[in-house]
A and B are shown apart, each in its own frame.
Chain A
Amino acid sequence: GIQVEQSPPDLILQEGANSTLRCNFSDSVNNLQWFHQNPWGQLINLFYIPSGTKQNGRLSATTVATERYSLLYISSSQTTDSGVYFCAVAVGSSNTGKLIFGQGTTLQVKP
């Protein structure tokens, strides 16, 4: 099956710093989503981005489908950005919509 790898696994930043999270996938995908899991476990949709670039405030994401990777940029990080960031991809010609998750990047932003 498809492999989804995220890097780095852990990241510690000072408040105000910028960061880039990477998601590599081993096969063609139908869609790709980025999520932030808050301390209570809720998955928050950040981006639905099978290709191209999107921006939402301090966050932006780019997916280069032909090269099988996606990047999540966080600028001017805040302590509330702390948590686990997951990318997930949907695969399959049957288009079942099943998401395969990467192992996540745990981000800690220090004040």
Chain B
Amino acid sequence: GAVVSQHPSWVICKSGTSVKIECRSLDFQATTMFWYRQFPKQSLMLMATSNEGSKATYEQGVEKDKFLINHASLTLSTLTVTSAHPEDSSFYICSAPRASGRGRQFFGPGTRLTVL
């Protein structure tokens, strides 16, 4: 089946630093990937759509200068949390549709970010 990986799986950083999270589709190409955030005991909230070859599309209320997204290739999207603060601590999950935007989506294992 389709496999999506994320790195790192967890990260602890000091307030004010930037953290980069990678999302890779291992056995298929993805021109579009999605980034979600999940707070404890809550559902997944879509943050942004990562588009290969063009700018990311952000959901309402998500700061694009805070969460930088780069879709570097057909198999890699990165999310950089800039100047992280404790309120950015969360579980970040990426997904990729296998065939097209209509297709079923496959999720990475997630990255748990803790900002001290």
Contact = CB atoms under 8 A, between A and B. Distances in A.
Nearest to A97: B101
A50 to B, nearest CB: 9
A42 B4 CA distance: 11
A101 B47 CA distance: 12
B104 A41 contact: no
A95 interface: yes
Nearest to A30: B102
- Top 4 closest A-B pairs, CB basis? A97-B101, A48-B104, A43-B107, A41-B110
Interface of B: 1, 32, 34, 38, 42-46, 49, 91, 93, 95, 97, 100-107, 109-110, 112
The bracket for how many chain A residues form the interface is 20 to 34
Mostly helix, strand, loop or mixed at chain B's interface?
strand
A35 B42 CA distance: 15
A102 B1 CA distance: 25
Contacts of A48: 104
A37 to B, nearest CB: 9
B103 A97 contact: yes
Interface of A: 30-31, 33, 35, 40-43, 45, 48, 86, 88, 90, 95-104
A42, A43, A96, most chain B CB atoms within 10 A? A43
Contacts of B105: 33, 97, 99
B44 A45 contact: no
26 contacts: A31-B103, A40-B109, A41-B38, A41-B93, A41-B112, A42-B107, A42-B110, A43-B95, A45-B104, A45-B106, A88-B44, A90-B101, A95-B101, A95-B102, A96-B49, A96-B101, A97-B97, A97-B100, A97-B101, A97-B103, A97-B105, A98-B46, A98-B49, A99-B34, A103-B42, A104-B43
